[in-house]
Structure 1
Amino acid sequence: MSSSLIATAHRLADAARIETLRLFRSPELHPDNKAGHGFDPVTEADRSSERAMRAILAAERPHDAILGEEFGSSPGSSGLTWVLDPIDGTRAFMAGAPSWGVLIGVVGADGPIYGIVDQPHLDERFEGGLGRAALTGRNQNWPLRSRVGVSLSQATLMSTYPEVGTPDEQAAFQRVAARARLTRYGLDCYAYALLAAGHVDLVIEAGLQAYDVAAPIAVVQAAGGIVTDWTGGPAHHGGRIIAAGSPELHAEALELLA
Protein backbone atom coordinates (compact mmCIF):
# COMPACT_ATOMS: atom_id res chain seq x y z
CA MET A 1 0.00 0.00 0.00
CA SER A 2 2.79 2.44 0.90
CA SER A 3 4.54 2.11 -2.44
CA SER A 4 1.26 2.62 -4.29
CA LEU A 5 0.45 5.76 -2.32
CA ILE A 6 3.92 7.17 -2.90
CA ALA A 7 3.83 6.42 -6.63
CA THR A 8 0.44 8.08 -6.99
CA ALA A 9 1.60 11.14 -5.05
CA HIS A 10 4.58 11.58 -7.37
CA ARG A 11 2.31 11.26 -10.41
CA LEU A 12 0.15 14.04 -8.96
CA ALA A 13 3.24 16.21 -8.47
CA ASP A 14 4.43 15.52 -12.02
CA ALA A 15 1.03 16.49 -13.44
CA ALA A 16 0.89 19.65 -11.33
CA ARG A 17 4.35 20.64 -12.56
CA ILE A 18 3.14 20.60 -16.16
CA GLU A 19 0.12 22.76 -15.41
CA THR A 20 1.86 25.29 -13.18
CA LEU A 21 4.99 25.77 -15.27
CA ARG A 22 2.85 26.29 -18.35
CA LEU A 23 1.70 29.63 -16.91
CA PHE A 24 4.49 30.61 -14.50
CA ARG A 25 6.04 33.93 -15.59
CA SER A 26 3.70 33.96 -18.56
CA PRO A 27 1.96 37.06 -19.95
CA GLU A 28 -1.12 34.84 -20.28
CA LEU A 29 -1.52 34.67 -16.50
CA HIS A 30 -4.62 36.68 -15.55
CA PRO A 31 -5.38 36.37 -11.81
CA ASP A 32 -8.89 36.57 -10.44
CA ASN A 33 -9.85 37.77 -6.97
CA LYS A 34 -11.90 35.25 -5.00
CA ALA A 35 -12.15 37.38 -1.85
CA GLY A 36 -15.28 39.27 -0.90
CA HIS A 37 -12.99 42.06 0.31
CA GLY A 38 -9.25 42.53 0.10
CA PHE A 39 -7.29 40.47 -2.40
CA ASP A 40 -7.16 36.66 -2.47
CA PRO A 41 -5.86 35.70 -5.92
CA VAL A 42 -6.54 32.57 -7.91
CA THR A 43 -5.29 31.77 -11.40
CA GLU A 44 -6.01 29.26 -14.13
CA ALA A 45 -2.75 27.58 -13.07
CA ASP A 46 -4.27 26.89 -9.63
CA ARG A 47 -7.42 25.45 -11.14
CA SER A 48 -5.78 23.38 -13.89
CA SER A 49 -3.21 22.01 -11.44
CA GLU A 50 -5.90 20.76 -9.07
CA ARG A 51 -8.03 19.40 -11.92
CA ALA A 52 -5.06 17.38 -13.21
CA MET A 53 -4.38 15.90 -9.77
CA ARG A 54 -8.03 15.07 -9.19
CA ALA A 55 -8.23 13.27 -12.54
CA ILE A 56 -5.36 10.98 -11.53
CA LEU A 57 -6.94 10.25 -8.16
CA ALA A 58 -10.29 9.46 -9.81
CA ALA A 59 -8.53 6.87 -11.97
CA GLU A 60 -6.09 5.41 -9.44
CA ARG A 61 -7.61 6.00 -5.98
CA PRO A 62 -11.38 6.31 -6.48
CA HIS A 63 -12.20 5.27 -2.91
CA ASP A 64 -10.07 7.96 -1.26
CA ALA A 65 -11.50 11.30 -0.20
CA ILE A 66 -10.10 14.59 -1.53
CA LEU A 67 -9.86 18.05 0.02
CA GLY A 68 -8.58 20.69 -2.39
CA GLU A 69 -8.28 24.44 -2.08
CA GLU A 70 -10.02 25.25 -5.34
CA PHE A 71 -12.69 22.55 -5.68
CA GLY A 72 -13.48 21.60 -2.08
CA SER A 73 -14.23 18.17 -0.66
CA SER A 74 -15.05 14.88 -2.34
CA PRO A 75 -16.09 11.98 -0.10
CA GLY A 76 -14.35 8.63 0.10
CA SER A 77 -14.66 5.29 1.88
CA SER A 78 -11.05 4.19 2.37
CA GLY A 79 -10.24 6.27 5.45
CA LEU A 80 -7.61 8.26 3.55
CA THR A 81 -7.92 11.84 2.36
CA TRP A 82 -5.71 13.54 -0.23
CA VAL A 83 -5.24 17.15 0.82
CA LEU A 84 -4.21 19.30 -2.16
CA ASP A 85 -3.02 22.85 -2.52
CA PRO A 86 -2.42 23.23 -6.26
CA ILE A 87 -0.34 26.40 -5.75
CA ASP A 88 0.62 27.40 -2.24
CA GLY A 89 1.83 30.97 -2.61
CA THR A 90 -0.26 32.27 -5.50
CA ARG A 91 0.91 35.82 -4.75
CA ALA A 92 4.53 34.71 -5.23
CA PHE A 93 3.47 32.86 -8.39
CA MET A 94 1.91 36.06 -9.73
CA ALA A 95 5.09 38.01 -8.96
CA GLY A 96 7.34 35.51 -10.74
CA ALA A 97 9.05 34.57 -7.46
CA PRO A 98 10.07 30.89 -7.11
CA SER A 99 8.96 30.47 -3.48
CA TRP A 100 5.54 28.93 -4.27
CA GLY A 101 4.93 25.20 -4.27
CA VAL A 102 2.46 22.38 -4.88
CA LEU A 103 1.30 20.60 -1.72
CA ILE A 104 0.14 16.98 -1.71
CA GLY A 105 -0.73 15.40 1.63
CA VAL A 106 -2.20 12.02 2.53
CA VAL A 107 -4.12 12.13 5.80
CA GLY A 108 -5.39 9.18 7.84
CA ALA A 109 -7.44 9.00 11.01
CA ASP A 110 -4.63 10.37 13.16
CA GLY A 111 -3.26 13.03 10.80
CA PRO A 112 -0.83 13.28 7.88
CA ILE A 113 1.05 10.09 6.97
CA TYR A 114 2.84 11.28 3.84
CA GLY A 115 3.44 14.55 2.05
CA ILE A 116 5.15 16.24 -0.87
CA VAL A 117 6.19 19.88 -1.08
CA ASP A 118 7.11 20.37 -4.73
CA GLN A 119 8.76 23.43 -6.28
CA PRO A 120 8.52 22.90 -10.04
CA HIS A 121 10.53 25.93 -11.16
CA LEU A 122 13.50 25.03 -8.93
CA ASP A 123 13.16 21.30 -9.66
CA GLU A 124 13.04 20.54 -5.94
CA ARG A 125 10.73 17.92 -4.47
CA PHE A 126 10.64 17.40 -0.70
CA GLU A 127 8.86 14.27 0.51
CA GLY A 128 8.28 12.80 3.94
CA GLY A 129 6.45 9.92 5.55
CA LEU A 130 6.01 6.18 4.96
CA GLY A 131 9.69 5.65 5.60
CA ARG A 132 10.91 8.48 3.40
CA ALA A 133 12.50 11.86 4.13
CA ALA A 134 14.28 13.17 1.05
CA LEU A 135 14.84 16.08 -1.29
CA THR A 136 15.03 15.16 -4.95
CA GLY A 137 16.32 17.62 -7.51
CA ARG A 138 18.84 18.13 -10.28
CA ASN A 139 19.28 14.36 -10.68
CA GLN A 140 20.34 13.92 -7.04
CA ASN A 141 18.75 12.87 -3.76
CA TRP A 142 19.54 14.33 -0.35
CA PRO A 143 18.23 13.05 3.00
CA LEU A 144 16.11 15.51 4.95
CA ARG A 145 17.05 16.15 8.56
CA SER A 146 15.96 19.08 10.67
CA ARG A 147 18.58 20.99 12.62
CA VAL A 148 18.91 20.16 16.32
CA GLY A 149 20.83 21.65 19.24
CA VAL A 150 19.71 25.18 18.38
CA SER A 151 18.34 27.49 21.07
CA LEU A 152 15.93 30.31 20.24
CA SER A 153 18.72 32.86 20.50
CA GLN A 154 20.51 31.00 17.69
CA ALA A 155 17.44 30.24 15.61
CA THR A 156 16.23 31.36 12.20
CA LEU A 157 12.48 32.03 12.33
CA MET A 158 10.20 32.35 9.31
CA SER A 159 6.61 33.35 8.63
CA THR A 160 4.78 34.21 5.43
CA TYR A 161 3.57 37.66 6.49
CA PRO A 162 4.90 40.20 8.99
CA GLU A 163 1.25 40.67 10.03
CA VAL A 164 0.71 37.31 11.73
CA GLY A 165 -3.05 36.97 12.29
CA THR A 166 -4.90 39.09 14.84
CA PRO A 167 -3.24 41.79 16.99
CA ASP A 168 -2.95 39.30 19.87
CA GLU A 169 -1.41 36.68 17.57
CA GLN A 170 0.96 39.28 16.19
CA ALA A 171 2.05 40.22 19.71
CA ALA A 172 2.69 36.56 20.56
CA PHE A 173 4.72 36.09 17.38
CA GLN A 174 6.79 39.17 18.18
CA ARG A 175 7.66 37.77 21.61
CA VAL A 176 9.34 34.87 19.81
CA ALA A 177 10.84 37.01 17.05
CA ALA A 178 12.44 39.31 19.62
CA ARG A 179 14.43 36.37 20.97
CA ALA A 180 15.38 34.77 17.62
CA ARG A 181 18.69 35.48 15.92
CA LEU A 182 17.09 36.05 12.49
CA THR A 183 13.48 36.51 11.34
CA ARG A 184 12.52 36.37 7.68
CA TYR A 185 9.22 36.51 5.79
CA GLY A 186 7.51 35.56 2.57
CA LEU A 187 8.30 31.97 1.57
CA ASP A 188 4.91 30.27 2.10
CA CYS A 189 5.31 26.46 2.06
CA TYR A 190 8.98 26.70 1.08
CA ALA A 191 9.82 27.77 4.64
CA TYR A 192 8.66 24.38 5.95
CA ALA A 193 10.71 22.62 3.29
CA LEU A 194 13.80 24.57 4.36
CA LEU A 195 13.13 23.63 7.98
CA ALA A 196 13.00 19.95 7.00
CA ALA A 197 16.29 20.41 5.14
CA GLY A 198 17.98 21.92 8.21
CA HIS A 199 18.31 25.53 7.02
CA VAL A 200 15.46 27.11 9.04
CA ASP A 201 14.71 26.35 12.69
CA LEU A 202 11.20 27.70 13.30
CA VAL A 203 8.10 28.51 11.25
CA ILE A 204 5.22 30.24 13.04
CA GLU A 205 1.96 31.21 11.32
CA ALA A 206 -1.73 31.79 12.02
CA GLY A 207 -4.96 31.58 10.04
CA LEU A 208 -3.94 28.59 7.93
CA GLN A 209 -6.22 26.02 6.31
CA ALA A 210 -5.84 22.24 6.29
CA TYR A 211 -4.59 22.27 2.71
CA ASP A 212 -1.83 24.72 3.71
CA VAL A 213 -0.33 22.40 6.32
CA ALA A 214 -1.06 18.70 5.73
CA ALA A 215 1.85 18.08 3.37
CA PRO A 216 4.37 20.29 5.22
CA ILE A 217 3.54 18.54 8.51
CA ALA A 218 4.34 15.13 7.03
CA VAL A 219 7.61 16.36 5.52
CA VAL A 220 8.80 18.18 8.67
CA GLN A 221 7.92 15.30 10.97
CA ALA A 222 9.66 12.76 8.74
CA ALA A 223 12.78 14.94 8.91
CA GLY A 224 12.76 14.83 12.72
CA GLY A 225 10.95 18.09 13.38
CA ILE A 226 7.76 18.77 15.30
CA VAL A 227 4.61 20.61 14.19
CA THR A 228 1.71 21.53 16.49
CA ASP A 229 -0.79 24.28 17.04
CA TRP A 230 0.04 27.06 19.52
CA THR A 231 -1.24 24.96 22.43
CA GLY A 232 0.89 21.95 21.54
CA GLY A 233 -2.04 20.04 20.01
CA PRO A 234 -2.59 18.58 16.53
CA ALA A 235 -2.10 21.06 13.70
CA HIS A 236 -3.36 19.30 10.58
CA HIS A 237 -6.72 21.08 10.60
CA GLY A 238 -4.95 24.44 10.22
CA GLY A 239 -5.21 27.54 12.38
CA ARG A 240 -2.19 28.63 14.43
CA ILE A 241 0.89 26.61 13.47
CA ILE A 242 4.36 26.25 14.97
CA ALA A 243 6.98 24.03 13.32
CA ALA A 244 10.36 23.50 14.95
CA GLY A 245 13.49 21.54 14.19
CA SER A 246 13.65 19.98 17.65
CA PRO A 247 11.36 19.36 20.64
CA GLU A 248 13.54 21.58 22.82
CA LEU A 249 13.28 24.58 20.51
CA HIS A 250 9.57 23.93 20.06
CA ALA A 251 9.05 24.04 23.83
CA GLU A 252 11.07 27.26 24.17
CA ALA A 253 9.04 29.05 21.49
CA LEU A 254 5.70 27.58 22.61
CA GLU A 255 6.13 29.04 26.08
CA LEU A 256 6.38 32.53 24.58
CA LEU A 257 3.36 32.00 22.32
CA ALA A 258 1.11 30.81 25.16
Structure 2
Amino acid sequence: MSAIDFGAFVAELATQSGKAILPFFRAHYATEDKSLGGVFDPVTEADRAGENVMRHLIKRSFPAHGVLGEEFGSENTDAEYVWVLDPIDGTRAFISGIPVWGTLIGLTRNGVPVYGMMHQPFTGERYSGDGRQSRYEGPNGPRTLRTRQVTELSAATLMTTSPGLFEGPHAQSYARVEKQVRMARYGCDCYAYCMLAAGHIDLVIETGLKPYDIVALIPIVEGAGGIVTSWDGGSAAGGGAVIAAANETLHQATLALLAG
Protein backbone atom coordinates (compact mmCIF):
# COMPACT_ATOMS: atom_id res chain seq x y z
CA MET A 1 0.00 0.00 0.00
CA SER A 2 1.12 3.59 -0.60
CA ALA A 3 1.49 6.28 2.04
CA ILE A 4 -2.09 7.49 1.45
CA ASP A 5 -4.14 7.49 4.67
CA PHE A 6 -6.02 4.22 4.18
CA GLY A 7 -8.83 4.95 6.63
CA ALA A 8 -9.50 8.35 5.10
CA PHE A 9 -9.43 6.85 1.61
CA VAL A 10 -12.01 4.15 2.40
CA ALA A 11 -14.17 6.76 4.12
CA GLU A 12 -14.02 8.83 0.94
CA LEU A 13 -15.01 5.80 -1.17
CA ALA A 14 -18.04 5.36 1.07
CA THR A 15 -18.95 9.04 1.09
CA GLN A 16 -18.67 9.58 -2.64
CA SER A 17 -20.41 6.33 -3.64
CA GLY A 18 -23.18 7.22 -1.19
CA LYS A 19 -23.62 10.62 -2.83
CA ALA A 20 -23.90 8.91 -6.22
CA ILE A 21 -26.38 6.25 -5.07
CA LEU A 22 -28.66 7.99 -2.60
CA PRO A 23 -30.52 10.29 -5.05
CA PHE A 24 -31.91 7.15 -6.72
CA PHE A 25 -33.31 5.62 -3.52
CA ARG A 26 -37.11 5.83 -3.31
CA ALA A 27 -37.08 7.73 -6.60
CA HIS A 28 -38.07 6.88 -10.17
CA TYR A 29 -35.26 5.34 -12.22
CA ALA A 30 -34.56 2.61 -14.75
CA THR A 31 -34.19 -1.00 -13.59
CA GLU A 32 -32.85 -3.80 -15.78
CA ASP A 33 -33.01 -7.56 -15.26
CA LYS A 34 -29.60 -9.28 -15.61
CA SER A 35 -31.04 -12.78 -15.26
CA LEU A 36 -31.80 -13.40 -18.97
CA GLY A 37 -35.03 -15.13 -18.06
CA GLY A 38 -33.94 -16.76 -14.79
CA VAL A 39 -34.47 -15.61 -11.22
CA PHE A 40 -35.04 -11.83 -11.23
CA ASP A 41 -31.64 -10.15 -10.86
CA PRO A 42 -32.08 -6.36 -10.99
CA VAL A 43 -29.49 -3.69 -11.69
CA THR A 44 -30.16 0.03 -11.52
CA GLU A 45 -28.60 3.30 -12.61
CA ALA A 46 -27.61 3.71 -8.97
CA ASP A 47 -25.50 0.51 -9.02
CA ARG A 48 -23.52 1.76 -11.99
CA ALA A 49 -23.12 5.29 -10.62
CA GLY A 50 -21.82 4.02 -7.29
CA GLU A 51 -19.30 1.62 -8.79
CA ASN A 52 -18.09 4.18 -11.32
CA VAL A 53 -17.14 6.71 -8.68
CA MET A 54 -15.34 4.10 -6.55
CA ARG A 55 -13.36 2.77 -9.51
CA HIS A 56 -12.30 6.30 -10.44
CA LEU A 57 -11.03 7.04 -6.93
CA ILE A 58 -9.18 3.72 -6.68
CA LYS A 59 -7.45 4.15 -10.03
CA ARG A 60 -6.42 7.69 -9.11
CA SER A 61 -5.03 6.78 -5.68
CA PHE A 62 -3.82 3.18 -6.18
CA PRO A 63 -3.15 2.70 -9.91
CA ALA A 64 -1.34 -0.62 -9.34
CA HIS A 65 -4.29 -2.19 -7.54
CA GLY A 66 -6.82 -4.48 -9.17
CA VAL A 67 -10.59 -4.09 -9.06
CA LEU A 68 -13.41 -6.63 -9.15
CA GLY A 69 -16.87 -5.10 -9.24
CA GLU A 70 -20.35 -6.45 -9.76
CA GLU A 71 -21.30 -4.04 -12.53
CA PHE A 72 -18.11 -3.53 -14.55
CA GLY A 73 -16.18 -6.76 -14.06
CA SER A 74 -12.52 -7.33 -13.28
CA GLU A 75 -9.34 -5.41 -13.96
CA ASN A 76 -5.77 -6.35 -12.99
CA THR A 77 -6.98 -9.02 -10.55
CA ASP A 78 -3.51 -10.63 -10.49
CA ALA A 79 -2.28 -7.64 -8.47
CA GLU A 80 -1.20 -8.03 -4.83
CA TYR A 81 -4.10 -5.84 -3.72
CA VAL A 82 -7.54 -6.13 -5.30
CA TRP A 83 -10.61 -4.08 -4.37
CA VAL A 84 -13.86 -6.05 -4.44
CA LEU A 85 -16.92 -3.82 -4.85
CA ASP A 86 -20.67 -4.23 -4.72
CA PRO A 87 -22.23 -0.76 -5.01
CA ILE A 88 -25.66 -1.96 -3.87
CA ASP A 89 -25.83 -5.30 -2.11
CA GLY A 90 -29.55 -5.88 -1.70
CA THR A 91 -30.79 -4.33 -4.94
CA ARG A 92 -34.22 -5.95 -4.49
CA ALA A 93 -34.58 -4.12 -1.17
CA PHE A 94 -33.29 -0.93 -2.80
CA ILE A 95 -35.86 -0.93 -5.59
CA SER A 96 -38.57 -1.77 -3.02
CA GLY A 97 -37.69 1.28 -0.92
CA ILE A 98 -36.53 -0.80 2.07
CA PRO A 99 -33.25 0.38 3.69
CA VAL A 100 -31.62 -3.03 4.22
CA TRP A 101 -29.13 -2.64 1.38
CA GLY A 102 -25.57 -1.40 1.55
CA THR A 103 -22.42 -0.60 -0.38
CA LEU A 104 -19.73 -3.26 0.08
CA ILE A 105 -16.08 -2.16 -0.14
CA GLY A 106 -13.62 -5.03 0.25
CA LEU A 107 -9.87 -5.37 -0.16
CA THR A 108 -7.89 -8.57 -0.67
CA ARG A 109 -4.16 -9.10 -0.45
CA ASN A 110 -2.91 -12.08 -2.45
CA GLY A 111 -6.50 -13.33 -2.57
CA VAL A 112 -7.17 -13.09 1.18
CA PRO A 113 -9.77 -10.59 2.44
CA VAL A 114 -7.96 -8.09 4.69
CA TYR A 115 -10.43 -5.21 5.01
CA GLY A 116 -14.12 -4.61 4.54
CA MET A 117 -16.75 -1.93 4.97
CA MET A 118 -20.53 -1.97 4.63
CA HIS A 119 -21.90 1.56 4.19
CA GLN A 120 -25.61 2.37 4.38
CA PRO A 121 -25.87 6.01 3.26
CA PHE A 122 -29.61 6.33 3.96
CA THR A 123 -29.27 5.42 7.66
CA GLY A 124 -25.77 6.86 7.97
CA GLU A 125 -24.23 3.60 9.23
CA ARG A 126 -20.79 2.18 8.53
CA TYR A 127 -19.60 -1.26 9.65
CA SER A 128 -15.91 -1.98 9.07
CA GLY A 129 -13.29 -4.53 10.02
CA ASP A 130 -9.78 -5.77 9.30
CA GLY A 131 -10.13 -9.32 10.64
CA ARG A 132 -8.69 -8.31 14.03
CA GLN A 133 -11.15 -5.63 15.12
CA SER A 134 -14.47 -4.35 13.81
CA ARG A 135 -16.14 -1.00 14.31
CA TYR A 136 -19.51 0.67 13.92
CA GLU A 137 -20.10 4.34 13.14
CA GLY A 138 -23.59 5.78 12.96
CA PRO A 139 -26.37 7.77 14.61
CA ASN A 140 -25.77 6.04 17.97
CA GLY A 141 -22.08 6.93 17.98
CA PRO A 142 -18.99 4.76 17.35
CA ARG A 143 -18.44 1.43 19.07
CA THR A 144 -16.48 -1.79 18.80
CA LEU A 145 -18.39 -4.76 17.43
CA ARG A 146 -18.45 -8.17 19.13
CA THR A 147 -20.43 -11.28 18.31
CA ARG A 148 -22.48 -12.89 21.06
CA GLN A 149 -21.61 -16.25 22.57
CA VAL A 150 -24.78 -18.26 21.95
CA THR A 151 -23.53 -21.83 21.49
CA GLU A 152 -26.78 -23.82 21.26
CA LEU A 153 -28.70 -23.91 17.99
CA SER A 154 -31.94 -23.95 19.96
CA ALA A 155 -31.10 -20.45 21.25
CA ALA A 156 -29.74 -19.07 17.97
CA THR A 157 -31.22 -16.58 15.51
CA LEU A 158 -30.57 -17.41 11.84
CA MET A 159 -30.80 -15.15 8.81
CA THR A 160 -30.79 -15.87 5.08
CA THR A 161 -31.78 -13.85 2.04
CA SER A 162 -34.53 -16.31 1.10
CA PRO A 163 -35.09 -20.04 1.67
CA GLY A 164 -36.31 -20.14 -1.93
CA LEU A 165 -32.75 -19.63 -3.18
CA PHE A 166 -31.69 -23.07 -1.91
CA GLU A 167 -32.23 -25.92 -4.36
CA GLY A 168 -31.96 -29.73 -4.20
CA PRO A 169 -29.62 -31.06 -1.49
CA HIS A 170 -28.80 -27.51 -0.40
CA ALA A 171 -32.47 -26.89 0.37
CA GLN A 172 -32.59 -30.02 2.50
CA SER A 173 -29.39 -29.05 4.32
CA TYR A 174 -30.64 -25.56 5.05
CA ALA A 175 -34.00 -26.88 6.27
CA ARG A 176 -32.24 -29.11 8.81
CA VAL A 177 -30.61 -26.07 10.37
CA GLU A 178 -33.69 -23.86 10.32
CA LYS A 179 -35.69 -26.54 12.16
CA GLN A 180 -33.16 -26.44 15.01
CA VAL A 181 -32.85 -22.69 15.61
CA ARG A 182 -34.96 -20.47 17.83
CA MET A 183 -35.87 -18.01 15.07
CA ALA A 184 -35.22 -17.43 11.36
CA ARG A 185 -35.48 -14.10 9.54
CA TYR A 186 -35.24 -13.41 5.81
CA GLY A 187 -34.30 -10.73 3.32
CA CYS A 188 -31.50 -8.62 4.79
CA ASP A 189 -28.56 -9.44 2.47
CA CYS A 190 -25.37 -7.73 3.74
CA TYR A 191 -27.15 -6.36 6.81
CA ALA A 192 -27.43 -9.90 8.19
CA TYR A 193 -23.64 -10.25 8.48
CA CYS A 194 -23.36 -6.85 10.15
CA MET A 195 -26.08 -7.77 12.64
CA LEU A 196 -24.11 -10.93 13.41
CA ALA A 197 -20.94 -8.88 13.97
CA ALA A 198 -22.90 -6.49 16.20
CA GLY A 199 -24.19 -9.33 18.39
CA HIS A 200 -27.86 -9.22 17.40
CA ILE A 201 -28.07 -12.56 15.55
CA ASP A 202 -25.97 -15.73 15.50
CA LEU A 203 -25.96 -17.38 12.06
CA VAL A 204 -26.12 -16.45 8.39
CA ILE A 205 -26.45 -19.17 5.75
CA GLU A 206 -26.43 -18.41 2.03
CA THR A 207 -25.82 -20.04 -1.33
CA GLY A 208 -25.01 -18.81 -4.83
CA LEU A 209 -22.88 -15.88 -3.66
CA LYS A 210 -20.31 -14.10 -5.81
CA PRO A 211 -17.01 -12.77 -4.38
CA TYR A 212 -18.36 -9.21 -4.33
CA ASP A 213 -21.27 -10.40 -2.15
CA ILE A 214 -19.03 -11.65 0.66
CA VAL A 215 -15.40 -10.44 0.53
CA ALA A 216 -16.06 -7.14 2.33
CA LEU A 217 -18.12 -8.87 5.02
CA ILE A 218 -15.55 -11.51 6.01
CA PRO A 219 -13.14 -9.12 7.83
CA ILE A 220 -16.10 -7.45 9.57
CA VAL A 221 -17.45 -10.72 10.98
CA GLU A 222 -14.00 -12.12 11.81
CA GLY A 223 -12.86 -8.87 13.42
CA ALA A 224 -15.88 -9.10 15.73
CA GLY A 225 -15.00 -12.66 16.79
CA GLY A 226 -17.10 -14.61 14.30
CA ILE A 227 -16.27 -17.18 11.63
CA VAL A 228 -17.06 -17.17 7.90
CA THR A 229 -16.43 -20.24 5.72
CA SER A 230 -17.86 -22.21 2.85
CA TRP A 231 -20.19 -25.08 3.74
CA ASP A 232 -17.24 -27.47 3.61
CA GLY A 233 -15.24 -25.35 6.06
CA GLY A 234 -12.96 -23.75 3.47
CA SER A 235 -12.46 -20.15 2.40
CA ALA A 236 -15.61 -18.19 1.62
CA ALA A 237 -13.78 -15.54 -0.41
CA GLY A 238 -14.82 -17.10 -3.71
CA GLY A 239 -18.51 -17.02 -2.82
CA GLY A 240 -20.78 -20.01 -3.37
CA ALA A 241 -22.43 -21.65 -0.34
CA VAL A 242 -21.41 -19.67 2.76
CA ILE A 243 -21.98 -19.86 6.51
CA ALA A 244 -21.19 -17.13 9.03
CA ALA A 245 -21.38 -17.98 12.73
CA ALA A 246 -20.90 -15.98 15.92
CA ASN A 247 -18.42 -18.47 17.41
CA GLU A 248 -16.59 -21.73 16.77
CA THR A 249 -19.01 -23.96 18.71
CA LEU A 250 -22.03 -22.75 16.76
CA HIS A 251 -20.09 -22.93 13.51
CA GLN A 252 -19.13 -26.58 14.00
CA ALA A 253 -22.66 -27.60 15.03
CA THR A 254 -24.11 -25.92 11.95
CA LEU A 255 -21.53 -27.43 9.59
CA ALA A 256 -22.43 -30.87 10.91
CA LEU A 257 -26.12 -30.31 10.18
CA LEU A 258 -25.43 -28.92 6.73
CA ALA A 259 -23.37 -32.00 5.92
CA GLY A 260 -26.22 -34.24 7.04
TM range (shorter): over 0.9
Q: Write the distance in 2 (CA, Å) between the matches of 1:188 and 1:202.
A: 13
Q: For residue 129 of structure 2, what is the aligned residue in structure 1?
A: 128
Alpha-carbon shift at residue 218 of structure 1 (Å): 1.1
Q: Write the distance in 2 (CA, Å) between the matches of 1:86 and 1:188.
A: 13
Structure 1 residue runs of 5 or longer lacking an equivalent are none
Equivalent residues in 2 for 1:46-85, closer than 5 Å: 46-75=47-76, 78-85=79-86
Alpha-carbon shift at residue 136 of structure 1 (Å): 0.1
Q: SS state of the match for residue 148, structure 1?
A: coil
Alpha-carbon shift at residue 119 of structure 1 (Å): 1.0
Equivalent residues in 2 for 1:76-95, closer than 5 Å: 78-95=79-96
Is 1:37 the counterpart of 2:37? The answer is yes
Alpha-carbon shift at residue 221 of structure 1 (Å): 0.5
Compute the TM-score of the two structures, normalised by the length of structure 1.
0.96
Q: For residue 218 of structure 1, what is the aligned residue in structure 2?
A: 219
Is 1:195 the counterpart of 2:196? The answer is yes
Alpha-carbon shift at residue 22 of structure 1 (Å): 1.0
Compute the TM-score of the two structures, normalised by the length of structure 2.
0.95
Q: Write the distance in 2 (CA, Å) between the matches of 1:8 and 1:172.
A: 41
Per-residue deviation, residues 139-177 of structure 1 (Å, max 9, x unmatched): 710110011143111000000012133221111001000
Q: SS state of the match for residue 127, structure 1?
A: strand
Which residue identity does 1:106 align to in structure 2?
L
Aligned-residue RMSD, C-alpha: 1.5
Q: SS state of the match for residue 181, structure 2?
A: coil
Stretches (4+) displaced over 2 A: 1-7
Which residue identity does 2:49 align to in structure 1?
S
Q: Write the distance in 1 (CA, Å) between the matches of 2:60 and 2:123.
A: 29
Number of aligned residues: 257
Alpha carbons 1:144, 1:197 under 8 Å: kept: yes
Q: Write the distance in 1 (CA, Å) between the matches of 2:192 and 2:235.
A: 19
Q: Write the distance in 1 (CA, Å) between the matches of 2:195 and 2:95.
A: 22
Q: SS state of the match for residue 163, structure 2?
A: coil
Q: Write the distance in 1 (CA, Å) between the matches of 2:54 and 2:228.
A: 26
Which residue identity does 1:210 align to in structure 2?
P
Alpha carbons 1:164, 1:173 under 8 Å: kept: no
Change (3 A) 1:153 1:130: closer
Alpha carbons 1:229, 1:242 under 8 Å: kept: yes
